[in-house]
Amino acid sequence: MVDGRVLYVVACGGYPAADLPAFVEHARSAGWDVCVIATPAGTRFLDAARLAELTELTGHPVRSEYKRPGEPDVLPPADAFVVAPATFNTVNKIVVGISDTLALGLLNEGLGAGLPIIMAPYPNSALAGHPAFAASIETLRSWGVRLVLGRPGDPRAGADQPGRENTAFPWNDLRAALAALPPRREQGIR
């Protein structure tokens, strides 16, 4: 059942991207019309079968590149965004306003329009310790981006990193954050 709200799920380059179909099913069952956008690195974690599955689940093509000038938009406008997983690259580029991919361009537009954004950072441990990443996390927080972390207070949710095997990607917390978004009329959108 879709209630008219459109959710863009942005997949960056990380192993959790392969688990998107279950999250998309959940979002659709919660009433969202879901569109999947992948970064160029995110497409490497979504094989042809997974892309076909996401297209079938959503009824929309999975997009990763800007459309050509004059081509019609094939996706409805977003009401909210979930970025899962959010890489070091994406987190830092959003903060400085870089829009060199479709995913970043849409996220930057969403920020500028005041749309709700939920983000699950997923850098490796070394990148999570970089000073720019910590500064970017704090900036995103100050802008109202809802961050869903692997552990309370720890943005380094890298389950595939040595010594971090007990940290799972926070799919359940993402579902809860999505459920906590107010209905469209309370968001003041469109």
Question: Residue 186 domain-assigned?
Answer: no
Give the chain's domain count. 1
187's enclosing H/E stretch is: helix 184-187
- At 169 the pLDDT is 83
Question: Residue 165 domain-assigned?
Answer: yes
**Residues listed for the chain:** 190
Q: Which residues pair with 9 in a beta bridge?
A: 36, 82
Within the chain, which residues score under 50 in pLDDT?
Answer: 1, 152-166, 185-190
Question: What residue type is assigned to position 90 of the chain?
Answer: T
- At 85 the pLDDT is 93
- At 24 the pLDDT is 97
Q: Please, what is the angle between helix 171-179 and helix 20-29, to 10°? A: 20
Question: Residue 189 domain-assigned?
Answer: no
Question: Residue 185 domain-assigned?
Answer: no
Q: What is the pLDDT of residues 76-117, one digit of tens each?
A: 999 999 999 999 999 999 999 999 999 999 999 999 999 999
- At 3 the pLDDT is 64
Q: Which residues pair with 45 in a beta bridge?
A: none
Structural domain boundaries, residue 101: 6-68+76-180
Question: Residue 188 domain-assigned?
Answer: no
- At 112 the pLDDT is 96
Question: Residue 58 domain-assigned?
Answer: yes
Residue 72's contacts (CB-CB under 8 Å, 6 or more residues apart) are none
CATH number (domain holding residue 82):
3.40.50.1950
Question: Residue 1 domain-assigned?
Answer: no
- At 9 the pLDDT is 98
- At 127 the pLDDT is 83
Question: Residue 34 domain-assigned?
Answer: yes
